[in-house]
Structure 1
Amino acid sequence: MSDRSIKTASRMPKSGKTPATIASRLGRRLAVIVICIVALGVALVGLSAWIASKANTIKSELHAAEALIPTLKTQIGNNDSAGAAGTVESLVRHTAAAREETDHPLWKAASMLPLLGPNFQAATEVATSADDVARLGAVPLVKAFQSLDWQTLTPAPGGMDLEPLAAAAPHVQTAAHAVRESSKRLDGLDATNLVPQIAEPLESVRKELANVSAGLDSAADAAYLAPRMLGADGSRRYLLLIQNSAESRATGGIPGALAVLKVDNGILTLESQKSAGELGAFSPPIPTDSEQQAIFSARVGKFMQDVNLTPDFATTASIAQAMWGRSTGEELDGVLSLDPVALSFILEATGPVQITDPVVQQIGHKLPRQLTGENVVKTLLSDAYSMIDEPRLQDVYFAGAAKEIFGALSSGRTDPKRLIDALSKGVEERRVLLWSTSTEEQRTIARYSLGGLVSGAAITPAQFGIYFNDGTGAKMDYWIKRTVQVVRDCTRDGYREVAVRVTSTNTAPADAAKSLPAYVTGNGSFGVPAGSVQTNVVAYGPVQSNIDTVVRDGTTIPFAAQHHVQRAVGTSTIRLAPGESTTLDFNFGHIVQHSEPKLVVTPTTQAVNDVIQATNLAPCE
């Protein structure tokens, strides 16, 4: 064998396979691999198309469900229970279809993929929550709605049928629980790495569910409380305070007119009526805590006229109830407070009322015989003082007008929806306040603005309160116009600094000292010139904050600094002659809360929306 043959043989594989054979086999294997890759690619394309189809179905079903919500709201607003029931059936069909798509094994498998998996998980949670809200939220709500006859829930001479409302309470509580749990589930999702197509709708759904959850919690509490407090289990008797906004107090106005409101299975009856002055001074005073006594003085517990120098209505109500009990021997079940603007809201629902009591007619013979939503505030807070000379008779007229309005409210001719709207507006503007001697009931009331508290669950983290207490000893606040506005919100060394501006203007006529009655101006009795108005402006900051400075019309001035329930409190006194205006800037510092500032103010004769102005921030240094 030649050397070349030997070399060639040595290069041949030991298996005896030629290069051509090897190349052929490699080619076949490569072809198989290519075919597998192509097949996998086709499969992935098919899977992607399948997932896209599922996603589109989920999206379209949820959009169809969302489109039904306005119809459902309209049907409920129009008292169309049959239509609402049909709409909810359609709603559930759509949400169930969306949820069913996310239950497929391949969809669940896609949820386990890296990077993209969380997006599938988020879509699954949204579909699940939507279906839970529809089935466990909307369905029970509509059932409760179908069981209620709103006409029977309006005060009438024969009372109210409170049984259906009590029976509806568990359904509303079930709905509230379902929405609350769905909201928590979606809040628990980490949206950091989600694609915008998922993250943005998720954030929108979170906000919407949070709003709905809060509303349902309120409805559940109302359905639980209302039958009890309206006397379904036995009559209740409440002290009724009519706050007179012509002489400001922190919660609204001086409680000049008092009455006992009896509620028995929804039948409203005004019993004994008195003026605050009739109760006289209490010695020893009703005890108050040391913080409030330091800020507002012992007068809070000494005179009924001053029980609401404090903005904390629970304090006001408990002291007022104790004063009434000490004076009359009557033990009442709670305290309800209204002001003339709230009465105007009620008159918009009841329609005009006639003054029918002959004594009240005689006292107010120069005043309108008919009270309406348009004239009642001016009549009670201005004209009554200029046309009725004797303060005692003014109180009689005030109480008589309130009795006529409550009579109209109990007449049975009130439109239910308009009445609910009127009361809701009164509560929203803090013109309607409620306190109960029942610890359980008061715990529930305290969660809402209806309770009028300055601490607790109803207080938002960055809440600022601006309250007004008359220092004139007269009825001049009818003429004062105010605005309150956040004008600075900056961060320094990790803490926030917020400035709240309070502008006050005395719009009384230039000759107020002569043209207005002495009882209205005070006639200088407490050292304030007739026509001028003196006001103690009390500012509350958030918990753990400080009030660093108070600036009046550009000049830093001294102020009284205290604390109440860990909230910074600053008080400054202003005096305005007719036509004068002044501005106070309360500069709060060391604020740890970083949520949006919320303003709460004393309700006055102005609409609250006119008093609280939109934030207008100065540049930060």
Structure 2
Amino acid sequence: MSVEPEHPAGPARPVSRRRRFLLVTAVIVSMPLVWLGFMTLRAYFAIHEIEQRADAARVLLRDGEIDAATSEIRAIPAAAHRARAATTSVPWRAAATVPWAGAPFDTIRESTIIVDRIAATVVAPALDGGMLDILGGGGQPGQIIDVEALRAVDPVMTEIARETGAISDDAARIPAAPFPGQVNAARDQLVEQAALLATATAHAADALRVLPAFLGADEPRRYLVVFQTNAESRGTGGLMGGAGMLRIEDGGITFEDSVSNQELPLTAEPIDLGPGFDALYGRYQSTQNWQNANFSPHFPHAARIWRSIWAQHMGEDVDGVIATDPVALSHLLGVVGPVTLGDGETITKDNVVGITLNEAYFRFGDRQLARKAYLQEIAGAVMARVNAYDGPKGPLVRALATAIEEKRILAWSADPDEQAVLGSSIVGGTLPQEKSPYAHVVLNNGAGGKLDYYLERSLEYRAGPCTGDRRESHVTLRLTNTAPALDQYPDYLMGRLTPETQYAGPPGTNRTVISLFATPGARLANTYVNDRRVPLTFTNTLLGHPVFTVVVLTEPGETITVRYDLDEPARAGEATVPVQPLVDDPQVSVDVPDCGAAHAE
């Protein structure tokens, strides 16, 4: 008996051909997708490499490893070109043409083109033009900065600044994808970074135009150097503790004889700094008295006053004014090494702040002349060590940059063209003229003592949403007096020297005048000290910024909270919260929405 199969087998040949056809078709159809995936990975890894190399270069530059940083940076243009090549490939361009869904591919492609332009027309020319060579040394013995090298890179930076301006404009035109996500977030970050780069290179080009002359390339320059004592707070940092003359010629620095502040008169012919300044500080004779010259946080005010007093007393019109403090000296000592004083005492990066701002007052008591001579010896020894330093320039430049970033080195030039550049830079210490959100809390010692060495601060700036033309905001300062509970302090350290500054409290109690320089157009609603509403707050305006002032006492171990409730304009721009350079390193918290172009003026 034969059994028929339930499913007789058909001809095999037609089935095999159909499968092969489908397989080939699938391969052909998927090849562009595979290629697109490959190009996507290639673009991703290239961008990731750029980020890694840029981060590595920043660390190496910070540590003074100029050659290693240069190697990292030199590899960036090739990675940027790979990213551009991947996102301008045929499959990528084809994907970008797909309605709606292709928009992210278009955004990414245009973004990598911008990255490639930055690498090719900014990064590479900067390296080839010798920008990093300035940090690597060179120049003549005794030169802190090679001024001829600065002049050599001036035309390079001018061209780079022109190119970054065009790149920033083109970056702003990159189309955003029609739906939110990481692509648009990356695009927005690139636009922001391109704008920052354009601003930074423009400032750098301006600086290179005037720096050689400022550093004595054409003729020797003489600058009044003011050493600020942060233990007695002032708007720009601290009381003028001493001064000296700095001679700069061809980038080489010589620190000449220092002068105790007690050698300067307490009264001088006043200068006119405008009605806003007079309203705030006129009652303190601030333009006549070096002790009160820097109540204002706007450094050009202090510099012009100090220069005027110096000219009246010493008969010399200096070319400019430079201010620094012991914390900046500690940064420099970390590079050049410790110094040894005449009696064998060693001053290091770790002890210079404590010795100069606190221990010296206990050591010398009321012997002020001896203490001031001691502090001047320290400052002179550090400056001499810096001038004699012949090691790698990178770490020294980084230490200077750190001090400048912390506003512990400020500079003003009597030359209007130079000052126009300095004033707009971080070293200028100026109150900004922009109207974007701003909160600058400034402390001035209200006791004539040196207890601000013990102050610790934290700052918060909060603002509401951008739903209207104005919004509520809150600026909060928490101020802690960490002074130990001693039975007695040296009188000079305690202060309370005049009837106006007499107050009650145990030894170590401090008196602080607190001023908030707020967003232009802001109005004060309330001021609270430890949740208690303060009915009277001094209100003034300086250079367009409303100023709201209260006076507080803090006993040893006490923390007080000062809160300003404001009604301020809803403005475009990132909030700025400057940190006054005192002894502490305060915590700063900012939660202020950027109200965008719709609220720009």
What TM-score, normalized to structure 2?
A: 0.83
Q: Percent identity over the alignment?
A: 24
Query: Any idea what the Cα deviations from partners look like across 1:87-126, whole Å, max 9, x if unmatched?
Result: 6675444544554677789987987776467555434422
| Equivalent position of 2:254 in the other structure | 269
Q: What letter matches 2:584 in structure 1? A: Q
The structural deviation recorded for 1:545 is 0.7
| Greater mean deviation of Cα atoms: 595-604 or 391-400 | 595-604
Counterparts of 2:327 and 2:66 in 1: how far apart (Å)?
33
C-alpha change, 1:223 and 1:146, in structure 2 (3 Å) is closer
| Equivalent position of 1:528 in the other structure | 502
Q: What is the aligned counterpart of 2:452 among 477, 480, 485? A: 477
Query: Any idea what the Cα deviations from partners look like across 1:526-557, whole Å, max 9, x if unmatched?
Result: 44256432111111111111122111111111
Query: Any idea what the Cα deviations from partners look like across 1:555-595, whole Å, max 9, x if unmatched?
Result: 11111111122221111111233343322111121332255
The structural deviation recorded for 1:525 is 4.0
Q: What is the aligned counterpart of 1:504 among 471, 479, 482? A: 479
Residue 575 of structure 1 aligns to a residue in which SS?
A: strand
Counterparts of 1:130 and 1:616 in 2: how far apart (Å)?
30
Q: What letter matches 1:130 in structure 2? A: V
Query: Any idea what the Cα deviations from partners look like across 1:15-67, whole Å, max 9, x if unmatched?
Result: xxxxxxxxxxxxxxxxxxxxxxxxxxx99x97996588468537624632541
Residue 248 of structure 1 aligns to a residue in which SS?
A: strand
| Equivalent position of 1:7 in the other structure | none
| Equivalent position of 1:3 in the other structure | none
| Equivalent position of 2:21 in the other structure | none
The structural deviation recorded for 1:505 is 2.8
C-alpha change, 1:381 and 1:198, in structure 2 (3 Å) is closer
Q: How does 1:4-15 map to 2 (within 5 A)?
A: none
Counterparts of 1:158 and 1:84 in 2: how far apart (Å)?
23
CA contact 2:519–2:568 (8 Å) conserved in 1: no
| Equivalent position of 2:151 in the other structure | 166
Counterparts of 1:403 and 1:47 in 2: how far apart (Å)?
77
Query: Any idea what the Cα deviations from partners look like across 1:388-407, whole Å, max 9, x if unmatched?
Result: 23222222222221110000
| Equivalent position of 1:581 in the other structure | 559
Residue 246 of structure 1 aligns to a residue in which SS?
A: strand
Residue 286 of structure 2 aligns to a residue in which SS?
A: helix
Q: Say whether 1:405 aligns with 2:379.
A: no
Residue 400 of structure 2 aligns to a residue in which SS?
A: helix
* Pair member with larger Rg: 1
Residue 292 of structure 1 aligns to a residue in which SS?
A: helix
CA contact 1:286–1:323 (8 Å) conserved in 2: no
Query: Any idea what the Cα deviations from partners look like across 1:261-283, whole Å, max 9, x if unmatched?
Result: 11111221112422233221334
Query: Any idea what the Cα deviations from partners look like across 1:142-188, whole Å, max 9, x if unmatched?
Result: 11347725353699536653222321233234334433422321222
Aligned residues: 559
C-alpha change, 1:184 and 1:269, in structure 2 (3 Å) is same
Q: Say whether 1:566 aligns with 2:507.
A: no
Q: What is the aligned counterpart of 1:282 among 267, 270, 273? A: 267
CA contact 1:262–1:268 (8 Å) conserved in 2: yes
Which blocks of at least 5 consecutive residues in structure 1 are unaligned?
A: 1-41, 362-367
Residue 613 of structure 1 aligns to a residue in which SS?
A: strand
Residue 543 of structure 1 aligns to a residue in which SS?
A: coil
| Equivalent position of 1:14 in the other structure | none
Q: Say whether 1:443 aligns with 2:425.
A: no
| Greater mean deviation of Cα atoms: 309-318 or 385-394 | 385-394
Counterparts of 1:600 and 1:81 in 2: how far apart (Å)?
30
Counterparts of 2:332 and 2:140 in 1: how far apart (Å)?
12
Q: Say whether 1:201 aligns with 2:186.
A: yes
| Equivalent position of 2:240 in the other structure | 255
| Equivalent position of 1:70 in the other structure | 52
The structural deviation recorded for 1:227 is 2.7
| Equivalent position of 1:343 in the other structure | 329
Counterparts of 1:155 and 1:552 in 2: how far apart (Å)?
57
Q: What letter matches 1:593 in structure 2? A: R
Counterparts of 1:66 and 1:283 in 2: how far apart (Å)?
61
Counterparts of 2:333 and 2:71 in 1: how far apart (Å)?
36
CA contact 2:35–2:91 (8 Å) conserved in 1: no
| Equivalent position of 2:491 in the other structure | 518
CA contact 1:543–1:567 (8 Å) conserved in 2: yes
Residue 517 of structure 2 aligns to a residue in which SS?
A: strand
C-alpha change, 1:68 and 1:390, in structure 2 (3 Å) is same
C-alpha change, 1:353 and 1:50, in structure 2 (3 Å) is same
What TM-score, normalized to structure 1?
A: 0.80
RMSD of equivalent CA atoms: 3.4
Which blocks of at least 5 consecutive residues in structure 2 are unaligned?
A: 1-23, 593-601
Q: What is the aligned counterpart of 2:170 among 168, 178, 185? A: 185
Residue 516 of structure 1 aligns to a residue in which SS?
A: coil
RCO higher in 1 or 2 (8 Å CA, sep ≥ 6)? 2
